[in-house]
A and B are shown apart, each in its own frame.
Chain A
Amino acid sequence: MNLKCLLSVALTFICLSITGCESVEAWERGTLAKPEMAIEGDALEATLNNHIYFSKEASNGGHSATGGGCGCN
């Protein structure tokens, strides 16, 4: 298992998704605003999962900040 190889695969994935980026106007964000499109959905489910995996696995980190959403003010 080579971590560098994985990194390059991941980087390619990011580049592919980003180069296909379009401008989405403020009034076109109804789908993005759906709760099921949030990076972190159910907050309590996410907290519990993170807590369980953190205490059973050696890995840690992956703080998920928010982003996307409705672009409302």
Chain B
Amino acid sequence: MARADTPPTNTNIAYRVSSYEEDSLSEKYLLAGSAERYDITIHQFQLVTPVGDNYGLTLNSSVESMSGASPWYAVDAVDGEKSIVMSGATIHEERRDYNLGLRRYLDNGTVGVNIGTSRENDYEAWSGGVDIERHFNNDLTTLASGVSYSSDDINPSDASLFNRVTDESKSTASLFFSVSQIINQKSLFQSSLNITSHDGFLTDPYKLQDRRPDSRIQLAWSNAYRHFITDLDAALHLDMRLYDDDFGVNSLTLEMRWYQNLGNNFQLIPRLRYYSQSAADFFTPVNDFTGTQEFNSSDYRLSAYGALSAGLQARAIFDEITVSFTLERYITADSYSLFDEDSSPALVDFTRMSLGFGYSF
């Protein structure tokens, strides 16, 4: 949403195509299956339009086609290293996502509602949310709060073949509260707190010996700072997030973006992001096949690691048309981690490219 406090005055349509490619798993760790990890093509579409004098409507949709393999389970290798068994056959999947949001603009704030659905061949989710924001203090301070809920049905493919679960479900409820403050003519700050509670089937049905608790509570505290440097005609974005959950995962995210204007029509936006998380309490680098642990997972997403990501976006803006190109490289390593805990050999590195078009009328 471009402006917090006024309904859109124009209709904007935007389209974006992205290519996301994960590096192959190192042969050193591959015991069986395909080393080729996910390649994803993502098409995104967005429409933002005024409705009457006081409403703004936002429609988002995306289609993702995925192919590749993912880690199935991990075992000890003879040389003391860990080995990953990848899913054998290449998976082909498609995900479709639709989201509709309506926002009412009032004198001192806004109220928004949204509904969405996300579908894959093995997955169907419905979600909805409501949020409210209010300006105080001569519009220098904005308080916002919102709730959202999502209900997901999971029906893993090839369930009988691999003895997978069928007809599982989970629900997610989320609450956020945020404060935005204008600091001076050139800077502003936002701090927000987000609490999310998941209930139901949280295990990854495509992994062997994956057993997770059936509830999870996540707490995230995010801070954003924006500062404009007039002499350089550039804006600095600093973001930091602290995260904690009852799986035992803590994390820190730091992000910096630099919006460099080059005349009236061009913009270059380099960015750097650092992320590090601790391991979940029940994470082990190799799966527990003895069944002695009530909960167990070798999923790299639940291991301790650090990740560095660098990106660059170039934008050209000509009256009503915007064209953008984005490149991002994301690398993970045990050594980047802030946390001295077990890591996984299956950490993922990826390259992402996007080409976007926008039209306003």
Query: Which A residues are within 8 Å of any B CB, using their own CB?
Result: 1, 3, 6-7, 10, 13-14, 17-18, 20-26, 28-29, 31-45, 47-48, 52-53, 56-73
* Identity of the chain A residue whose Cβ is nearest the Cβ of B238 in the assembled complex: A13
> How distant is B284 from chain A, measured CB to nearest CB, in Å?
15
Known contacts A39-B180, A68-B4, A62 near B241 by CB under 8 Å:
yes
Known contacts A21-B182, A34-B228, A48-B16, A63 near B252 by CB under 8 Å:
no
A23, A42, A57: which contacts B275 (Cβ < 8 A)? A57
> How distant is B217 from chain A, measured CB to nearest CB, in Å?
11
Query: Which B residues are within 8 Å of any A CB, using their own CB?
Result: 1-6, 14, 16, 18, 20, 42, 44, 46, 60, 62, 107, 131, 133, 135, 138-140, 142, 144, 146, 174, 176, 178-192, 194-196, 218-226, 228, 230, 235, 237, 240-245, 247, 249-253, 257, 259, 261, 267, 269, 275-278, 280, 301-302, 307, 313, 324, 326, 330, 338-340, 348, 350, 352, 354, 356
**Chain B residues with CB under 8 A of A56:** 301, 330, 348, 350
Q: Name A's interface SS.
A: loop
B235 with A34: CB separation less than 8 A: yes
How many Å lie between the Cα of A40 and that of B2 in the bound state?
8
B5, B247, B301: which contacts A71 (Cβ < 8 A)? B5
How many Å lie between the Cα of A59 and that of B218 in the bound state?
8
A37 with B226: CB separation less than 8 A: yes
**Chain A residues with CB under 8 A of B181:** 18, 21, 67
B185 with A45: CB separation less than 8 A: no
> How distant is B262 from chain A, measured CB to nearest CB, in Å?
12
B251 with A63: CB separation less than 8 A: no
A67 with B180: CB separation less than 8 A: yes
